[in-house]
Structure 1
Amino acid sequence: MQGKAPMPDGQVADAPADNWVDRYAPEATRPYLRLSRADRPIGTWLLLIPCWWGLALGMLSDQSPRWEDAWIALGCGLGAWLMRGAGCTWNDITDRDFDAQVARTRSRPIPSGQVSVRGAVIWMGAQSLLAFCILLTFNRMAISLGVLSLLLVTIYPFAKRFTWWPQVFLGLAFNWGALLAWTAHTGRVELPAALLYLAGICWTLFYDTIYAHQDTEDDALIGVKSTARLFGDRTSHWLKYFLVATVALMAASVVDAAVPDASLIALILALTGPWAMGWHMAWQLRGFDPSDDKRMLHLFRLNRDTGLIPLIFFCAALLA
């Protein structure tokens, strides 16, 4: 497991070379921002996008967009940034021994010695407290859902120790915002939100299995489980199943949300979202090569655009 030497100036190995943290952030703050993955914003996008899906479909469902929805959208953005940071900090605290043994992760702030465990715990608490303050501005049901999500965040780092499907636990946590944002708008949890949540979980299985293929060799040596290791040479077949499930469940969510109050044009526009998303996922599959780590990271990062595609059509449907 001989890996690369630590990156110069504390940079994390899989962070973009020109990221804003390493270029512009004050030096004293950089280890903590790296701990929150602020130098790798893709995770914040993947946490935020399901929130915006849920909000958009909630507005489409009851045909009553309100000015406070703008705050829900912004609050979800701020909350996603903070909770992704807190979750990643917790993940790195629990995985610090594993991370020190994997070439791609040994340059992270805790195993590389940039941040102590005590400092990381304090930083995690500060981020969580700020996110909770934002959550308190939503309705009671949304607040309850937000608090409940902490259980999933707490469990996720340990999933790869006891199941071959840790990506399911990541999906459960990362797509919770679809339920929360829908509820923040409507005041209740309904079937379209649940279907959208399931669609997001299938999407997470798609992109995080791709991501996990970067670490299969190291994971095998240290005993960490993943769907990438479980599927092996059949990964591309499983990715097709996740693609189909994502599109089908999202389409079902759209239909249930839009019928009967939305117009036919709005329904068609909204249904174009999952269809176009599916084509983007299929395009990714054409470039799938598990032996090329850089290619896997590139495909993983493309999923920001994958998730934004249906959102564009959902917003267009609101204007129809």
Structure 2
Amino acid sequence: MTEPYDTPATAPEESPVAGRVADATDANWVDRFAPPWARPYLRLSRADRPAGTWLLLLPCWWGLGLGVVVAGGWSPLAVWIALGCAAGAFLMRGAGCTWNDLSDVKFDAAVARTKSRPLPSGQVTKRQAFAWLVFQALIAFAILLTFPPVAIALGVLSLLPVAVYPFAKRFTWWPQVFLGLAFNWGALLAYAAVTGRVDWGAGFLYVAGIAWTLFYDTIYAHQDKEDDALIGVKSTARLFGAATGKWLFGFLAATVTLAAAGIIVALVPLGATWPMLIGLVGVWGFGLHMMWQMRGLDIDDPAKCLVIFRSNRDAGLILAVTLLLSGLFA
């Protein structure tokens, strides 16, 4: 029996916003400039909502920046790792979102914010979506093969948390932990790509990223908490409820403490004083931005939650820029 989302809708091509996803901005490049035939696939990849790509990329750059200092400074390999991580983050975020939508299509159809996504709205079939997933993953894998062997191995291992995450909301109140495991793997991968190993400094950065993910994705999940309650989907937003502010502050403190620990543990033994101080300034700025987010947050205002969630690109970028610059002083 054919379900409604198995038959693509034929939206009028003369409308530049036909099929626009509910939480995409009016200014997104997909709806403005992409050819009509490509828009459903780019929407599957969330190319019209790039915040998630940044949130996947930034931990890569954290690990890379710290690894560059440990390795003795910038090199042609490190520059390529920075560029390869950017391309890989775009592709793997797209593949991961496509996998997520394939796994959650019935849930998405029951939630006001997500029912306009390409699969539940009928813009693509499940077969087309799966082919698009494979295409993106193969290109990302080709890029990964240009990295050192230890990074390739870590990249393959990253597929495990990516595969599990869409199902986590069915069996745990903490699906954001599984998202954090997947989204911050790049901190380990990029660090290992330039140093040839994974050590405590990278490990602390990785766990800091997981705490950060719990922070921003709890905010994100508050957009859907009423619909999630109706359909039985679990999340930290529903779990924490009115106590969300206290939990967010705890995640903020954990993020800042663990990130600072990673920098100190990695760089003090090397006597890399200036890179360490620059990195710690970045941690301080990162924490201040998260505090600013909490001051403006209203968990009962979905639009505000989305704006605050998106601002985490800037928060994570503060740390990424300082760590990448610190490599100039290695």
* Equivalent in the alignment of 2:46: 37
Residue correspondences, number: 315
Structure 1 residue 246 displacement after superposition: 0.2
Show CA shifts across 1:107-158 (max 9, x none): 0000000010000000000000000000000111110110011111100000
Q: Is the 8 A contact 1:87 1:153 kept in 2?
A: yes
Q: Is the 8 A contact 1:62 1:261 kept in 2?
A: no
Q: Is the 8 A contact 1:61 1:262 kept in 2?
A: no
* Equivalent in the alignment of 1:275: 284
Q: Distance in 2 between matches of 1:265 and 1:186?
A: 19
1:166 to 2:204 alignment: no
2:75 is matched with which residue: 63, 66, 70? 66
2:159 is matched with which residue: 150, 153, 157? 150
* Equivalent in the alignment of 2:87: 78
Structure 1 residue 263 displacement after superposition: 3.5
Range moving further from structure 2, 252-261 or 209-218: 252-261
Q: Distance in 1 between matches of 2:86 and 2:125?
A: 28
* Equivalent in the alignment of 2:238: 229
Q: Distance in 1 between matches of 2:271 and 2:146?
A: 29
Structure 1 residue 250 displacement after superposition: 0.2
Q: Is the 8 A contact 2:191 2:198 kept in 1?
A: yes
* Equivalent in the alignment of 2:192: 183
1:88 is matched with which residue: 97, 100, 103? 97
Q: Is the 8 A contact 1:54 1:178 kept in 2?
A: yes
Structure 1 residue 265 displacement after superposition: 2.5
* Equivalent in the alignment of 1:112: 121
Structure 1 residue 259 displacement after superposition: 1.5
Structure 1 residue 18 displacement after superposition: 1.2
Q: Distance in 2 between matches of 1:313 and 1:82?
A: 25
Structure 1 residue 261 displacement after superposition: 2.2
Structure 1 residue 193 displacement after superposition: 0.7
Show CA shifts across 1:233-273 (max 9, x none): 00000000000000000000000121132432322111111
Q: Which runs of 5+ in 1 are unaligned?
A: 1-5
1:293 to 2:298 alignment: no
Show CA shifts across 1:2-49 (max 9, x none): xxxx99510000001110000000110000000000000000000000
Q: Is the 8 A contact 1:135 1:143 kept in 2?
A: yes
* Equivalent in the alignment of 1:209: 218
Q: Which runs of 5+ in 2 are unaligned?
A: 1-10
Q: Is the 8 A contact 2:151 2:190 kept in 1?
A: yes
**How much identity, in percent, do the aligned residues show?**
63
Q: Distance in 2 between matches of 1:111 and 1:246?
A: 36
* Equivalent in the alignment of 2:269: 260
1:22 is matched with which residue: 21, 24, 31? 31
Q: Is the 8 A contact 1:63 1:262 kept in 2?
A: no
Show CA shifts across 1:175-224 (max 9, x none): 00000000111111111111100000000000000000000000000000
* Equivalent in the alignment of 1:308: 317
Query: What RMSD, in angstroms, separates the aligned Cα atoms of the two structures?
Result: 1.2
Read off the aligned partner of 2:308 and give its amino acid letter. Answer: L
Q: Is the 8 A contact 1:83 1:127 kept in 2?
A: yes
Q: Distance in 1 between matches of 2:82 and 2:24?
A: 27
Show CA shifts across 1:165-184 (max 9, x none): 00000000000000000011
Read off the aligned partner of 2:38 and give its amino acid letter. Answer: T
Q: Is the 8 A contact 2:281 2:322 kept in 1?
A: yes
2:142 is matched with which residue: 126, 133, 137? 133
